Amino acid sequence: MSVDAASATRGAFLGVERSLSGRRWIGPGPEQDRLAEAMAQATALPLPLARILVARGVTPAEVDRFLEPQLRDLLPDPRSLKDMAAAAQRILRAARGRERIAIFADYDVDGGASAALLITWLKAMGRQATLYVPDRIEEGYGPNVPAMRQLARDHDLIVCVDCGTLSHEAIGAASGADVVVLDHHLGGETLPPALAVVNPNRQDEDGELGHLCAASVVFLLLVELNRLLRADGVNGPDLLGLLDLVALATVADVAPLTGVNRAFVRQGLRVMARRERPGLRVLCDIARLDRAPESFHLGFVLGPRINAGGRIGAAHLGARLLATDDEAEARRIAEQLEALNAERREIENRIRDAALIQAESRGLDGPLVWAAGDGWHPGVLGIVAARLKEATNRPAIVIGLDGNEGKGSGRSVEGVDLGASVQRVAMEGLLIRGGGHRMAAGLTVSRDRLEAAMERLGSLLQRQGAIRVGPRDLRLDGLLMPGAATPELIEDIERAGPFGQGAPAPRFAMPDMVVTHVQRVGESHLRLGVTDGASASLQAILFGAFDTPLGDILAAGKGRRFHLAGRVEMNHWQGRSRVQLRLEDAAESGAQTAGE
């Protein structure tokens, strides 16, 4: 019996069939409990940590390697990717031969980090590269014919990063220059006329490395380049110091934090903590991030700021910030990005509200949640799609209409391959173009085919099981009493991280908690004081509380008892650190029990 099937047959955790936010709570089953207790006994690990490891399929024999993942053990052979040898040899020949090199990069964090990796390596080899990042609105995603023609006139080699796999016409227009593609987006039945296309998601690849983002593919290329240099008795540039860029791109591009990706992020965060890269150091300071970044900060603090240039400003700013070694230039760019990010938030909020109203009127219980509107800024559609996905736990598409066409962006949920479905609808002719990867996709659609295209996309997603996921299910890793939520336990739990896509942060339930005080924080957050009624108390925080009915109920809940669910973490503020519960859900204590 599958995990999902087993979850459906056993009772709801703590008897919560319907929480205050409408979710059914699902906890570990008897077999998981047994395995966790056995692991705790065999390894002397705390039981909450043992529960997390069991949920991730880790056995007692694998514990040490899982808690301390080593890149040397997990790094794949770069030459296992098709065209890697040809790509590395051509780039090395260009670097050694003082050829003119251009880098054509996507305008998001993954593209910027990929470009910065190449620029940094080439700079260490004594070579400068031309950076070209297309304008999102004027040129759209990926290589285009005018840009590639211009670059080919002035360069001997063009390296496309985080784009290019489907750009047959544009790459064919680069007459006189060799083109190398380093990408991870889904490939079509044929490859573009490039010298090399290195992409783990080519149709003729086995998919084993399909979880890599583009920056990881570029990093593997650099590993192969350094191997070629060593074969000639030359030491190549340091690569471990570049893992901060790989970690940033992996998290920001929502790649699953499993396997080598987990090692990339784990070690990349350690590199970032050294604050050696001027662009990231200055950006952390401007964002008031006064401690070593965690994976959360990469995705929700640094990533959005780096993306801001590509969304509503100068598309090249993110890549330039990550590649520069000049402190003054870094500060100048970071300040621009901070201002653009503030503007982006205002635009996003307006479109998000309109999109949510439209999606709700259409219904949130289908396999696809979507919305479309005239004049919606294309730079924020992906973020709004992510917000819809988070609110509904359904794949989401948001489309900005302009005249007879609409351009959209989509985000998916675990286990549902959105990119493949979008690509199929494009091949069937209902979309003008479309593609992406498992968790994110882009598309262009004619206005008169919008409804039909979304209906077809929804049917394809339903076949993948999108209709079976929804906001009613909240998976929990077990019970945790407030007295056990210590800094030491949180430090132990962090050893199982980093947490993110494909490796969700563990959630625990605290049963029968009494709310001792409530405090509204800012416009939409809620801070609670809670106790188990005996001797242990804890602070809880519910972000975006008043965007849902949950905030109003808890705000009026002083003196009442609730089951609480969320993530335990350290709250660092003004030099002080304390344990807090990042609240995600709540249920009336004893009010909703199985069978009622």
Q: Domain-by-domain residue ranges, the chain?
A: 3-27+476-588, 28-64, 74-338, 351-468
Kindly give the pairing relationship between strand 24-26 and strand 473-475: parallel
Please tell me the CATH code under which domain 74-338 is placed: 3.90.1640.30
Give the tens place of pLDDT for each residue, 169-223.
Answer: 999 999 999 999 999 999 989 999 999 999 999 999 999 999 999 999 999 999 9
Three-state secondary structure of 46-94: CHHHHHHHHHCCCCHHHHHHHHCCCHHHHCCCHHHCCCHHHHHHHHHHH
How would residue 4 be classed by pLDDT, with cut points 50, 70 and 90? Answer: very low
> 434: closest CA among 137, 142, 115, 108?
142
For residue 505 the two structure tokens come to 């942060």
How would residue 10 be classed by pLDDT, with cut points 50, 70 and 90? Answer: low
How would residue 302 be classed by pLDDT, with cut points 50, 70 and 90? Answer: very high
Give the tens place of pLDDT for each residue, 134-157.
Answer: 998 889 889 999 999 999 999 999
Q: Is the pLDDT of residue 288 over 80?
A: yes
Contact criterion met (CB below 8 Å) for 411 and 382 = yes
Give the tens place of pLDDT for each residue, 397-438.
Answer: 999 999 999 999 999 988 899 999 999 999 999 999 998 888
Superfamily in which the 3-27+476-588 domain is placed by CATH: Nucleic acid-binding proteins (2.40.50.140)
351-468 maps to CATH 2.40.160.40: no
Residues 414 and 501: their CA atoms lie apart, in Å, by: 8
SS3 label, residue 240:
helix
pTM (2 d.p.): 0.88
Q: Is the pLDDT of residue 356 over 50?
A: yes
Q: Is the pLDDT of residue 272 over 70?
A: yes
Q: Is the pLDDT of residue 312 over 90?
A: no
pLDDT score for 533 = 81
> 386: closest CA among 434, 348, 358?
348
The long-range contacts involving 69-74, CB below 8 angstroms and separated by at least 24 positions, are 69/262, 69/263, 69/266, 70/263, 71/243, 71/260, 71/263, 71/264, 71/267, 73/263, 74/259, 74/260, 74/262, 74/263
Q: Is the pLDDT of residue 2 over 90?
A: no
Residues 471 and 491: their CA atoms lie apart, in Å, by: 29
pLDDT score for 472 = 61
> How many helices and strands in the chain, by DSSP H and E?
22, 17
Residues 579 and 504: their CA atoms lie apart, in Å, by: 19
User: Lowest mean pLDDT: which of 45-54, 165-174, 277-286, 385-394?
Assistant: 385-394
Contact criterion met (CB below 8 Å) for 561 and 514 = yes
How would residue 13 be classed by pLDDT, with cut points 50, 70 and 90? Answer: very high
Residues 548 and 543: their CA atoms lie apart, in Å, by: 10
pLDDT score for 164 = 97
Q: Is the pLDDT of residue 592 over 90?
A: no
Q: Is the pLDDT of residue 259 over 80?
A: yes
Contact criterion met (CB below 8 Å) for 302 and 282 = no
pLDDT score for 548 = 80
Q: Is the pLDDT of residue 378 over 60?
A: yes
Main-chain phi, psi angles of 236, to 5 degrees:
-85, 175
Q: What one-letter code names the amino acid at 508?
A: F
**CA 176: distance to chain centroid?**
37
pLDDT score for 126 = 95
Give the tens place of pLDDT for each residue, 216-244.
Answer: 999 999 999 999 999 999 999 999 999 99
Q: Is the pLDDT of residue 539 over 50?
A: yes
Q: Is the pLDDT of residue 261 over 50?
A: yes
What is the rounded average pLDDT for all residues in the chain? 92
